[in-house]
Amino acid sequence: MSGYVNITSHKGGKVEFVSQDADDTVKPSRYVKSIKEIPYDISVLEINSVLSSSEAEAPVPPPAPVDLIELLSKKHCKSFAGLISGNADVFRTLNETKDNGLTLFCPVDAAVAAFMPKYKNLTAKAKTAILLYHGVPDYFSLQLLKSNNGMVSTLATTSEVKKDYSYDVQNDDEKV
């Protein structure tokens, strides 16, 4: 019965709400006024107190930590993972960003191998920028990318380089 709310209508138009799993000591919340109603879509009601639920208030364990290098290494991105782990600034930035939302575009090993001759000749600052260019400091599933058109800032843009390394997301049906 977790998540259910009992609604009781009293004489005189008074309405009370209480969580189904609340114990007898919990005072019900009372209806104050309607904030906004859009028929068949949404209704926002002001109540005089927080709806309490022992289930909702129970501590939830934090998610297990994600080891990006291990994850990438297992998913055909071992070479890219090696570049990230070999660059302390990129490794730190990705790990600091991942808990607040991160989309990482991981080139497959063959693509990294083909790019390595150019990569080796880049300056340290340019290597950092190109690796950070593959990260977006927001979570974008494929579905969200499909529904998004416009400029997206990468981690390279938000880094110390201070250049605009954004790119334009365009979608065409199922292609992004």
Do residue 40 and residue 100 come from a single domain?
no
Is the predicted pLDDT of residue 158 greater than 80, yes or no?
A: no
- Residue 134, domain member (yes or no): yes
Do residue 30 and residue 116 come from a single domain?
no
Is the predicted pLDDT of residue 36 greater than 90, yes or no?
A: no
Q: Are 19 and 58 in contact (CB under 8 A)?
A: no
Distance CA 132, CA 122 (A): 14
Is the predicted pLDDT of residue 114 greater than 70, yes or no?
A: yes
pLDDT in tens, 3-17: 688 888 888 888 888
For the chain, the domain total comes to: 2
- How would residue 31 be classed by pLDDT, with cut points 50, 70 and 90? confident
Do residue 72 and residue 9 come from a single domain?
no
- Residue 130, domain member (yes or no): yes
Do residue 72 and residue 35 come from a single domain?
no
Indicate which CATH number applies to the domain containing 138: 2.30.180.10
Is the predicted pLDDT of residue 1 greater than 60, yes or no?
A: no
pTM over 0.85: no
Do residue 41 and residue 95 come from a single domain?
no
Alpha helix ranges (H) inside 13-151: 54-57, 68-74, 78-85, 88-97, 109-120, 124-132, 142-146
Query: Side-chain half-sphere of 173: how many Cα atoms within 13 Å?
Result: 0
Distance CA 7, CA 25 (A): 17
